[in-house]
Amino acid sequence: MLSIGIILGSTRPGRNGEAVARWVHQLARRRTDATFELVDIADFGLPLLDEPVPPSLGHYSKDHTKAWARVIDGFDGFVIVTPEYNHSTSGALKNAIDYLYGEWNNKAAGFVGYGSAGGARAVEHLRLIMAELQVATVRAQVMLSLATDFENYSTFRPAPQHEGSLAAMLDQLVAWSTALRTLRPAAMHVA
């Protein structure tokens, strides 16, 4: 069975991202074409990148890196739930992405963004970053507005049409994750 990780990209106390990621998980898990698991980067306690060797060489020295690598390696694709900070993604998510290399390669990702402009600018940056990691990003994305999908900018109340956007994105993500699985060797990349 295809395995998709839903990555919660905000670690901020009081973050809106947690409710968004839980909503994605709740809807995604009704599907029968993949299994979906929530991955909270806050759970990994990753400091600012502290590996001496570039991740593309796959020589991980720290326990936190190995734990993070094991989890990412186990997925065929990703839903990336991203906030928008200063027209990009969060520093915490960029740092978590930078920690690894081979574990991301030849997989697919879809995005759920939120912000004043639906997180669109954060998602555009992430598309460039993920391309460098050989992650194919699907076109359909979910764009949640802080003004209309959150009461008082804090309580998540998504407009009904977002369920359709999420389903469209997941359809593309499952299709591409399935196709890309054929490119990957059975051997895992974890050092």
Q: Does 155 sit near ligand FMN (CB under 6 A)?
A: no
Other Cβ atoms within 10 Å of 132 Cβ, number: 10
Tokens describing residue 133? 């990691």
Q: What is the distance between the alpha carbons of residues 72 and 191, in angstroms, rounded to a whole number?
A: 13
5, 102, 110, 115: which one contacts ligand FMN (CB under 6 A)? 115
Q: Does 89 sit near ligand FMN (CB under 6 A)?
A: no
Residue pair 89/16 in contact (Cβ under 8 Å)? The answer is no
Q: Does 158 sit near ligand FMN (CB under 6 A)?
A: no
5, 17, 110, 158: which one contacts ligand FMN (CB under 6 A)? 17
Q: Which range binds ligand FMN by CB under 6 A, 21-29, 65-73, 81-89, 126-134? A: 81-89
CA gyration radius, the chain: 16
# binding residues, ligand FMN (CB under 6 A): 14
**105 to 36, 75, 109, 185: CA distances (angstroms):** 19, 11, 11, 11
Q: Which is nearer to ligand FMN, 15 or 162 (CB)?
A: 15
Residues that bind ligand FMN (CB under 6 A): 10, 12, 15-17, 83-87, 115-117, 146
